[in-house]
Amino acid sequence: MASIELTNEPKTEFDKKLVQDAYNVNVAFYIHLKSFNNSVRDELTKRIEEVFFYSKGIEWKFDSFGIEKAGSRGKNVLAYFVFRTANLSELKKLFLDNFKDYENAIKITCSVAEYQKISETFFELEI
């Protein structure tokens, strides 16, 4: 497998679709759970779908969702949701509105990471 021509600028229309934002803010919400069973994943999925439903006017993209076992980041089982956004305050408000009454939550913690693109290269791989 050989790569073909590295470029710093997108040349094709497909390359232009791959261009990433110059700045990126990732927001991770961690829900510390009291307990975990088979229905918890479904409950969390339903709540996040409600966040999607009410999110009109908020610029963000959903990146990932998962559940971590106790011990990987602390003693609690954690459900996490990761978003990319340019509007942190509105996303926080929306998330809180949809999860403040979730009885299985001990607390919700949040991590915000800001990234700046240093460089971007485009290439294709022959297969």
Distances (CA, A) of 82 to 85, 95, 125: 10, 11, 30
Its domain, for residue 48, covers 21-117
Quick one: pLDDT at residue 47?
82
pLDDT of residue 56: 57
Report the number of distinct structural domains present in the chain: 1
pLDDT digits (tens, 9 = 90+) for 77-109: 888 888 888 778 888 888 888 888 999 999 988
Residues with Cβ < 8 Å from 126, sequence gap 6 or more? 1, 2, 3, 4
Whether 13 maps to a domain, the answer reads no
**Which element (helix H / strand E) includes 55?**
none
pLDDT for res 103: 92
Asked if residue 4 belongs to a domain, the reply is no
CATH code, domain carrying 63: 3.30.70.260
Q: Is 57 contained in some domain?
A: yes
Q: Region 67-81: what's the mean pLDDT?
A: 76
Which of 21-30, 36-45, 65-74 reaches the highest mean pLDDT? Answer: 36-45
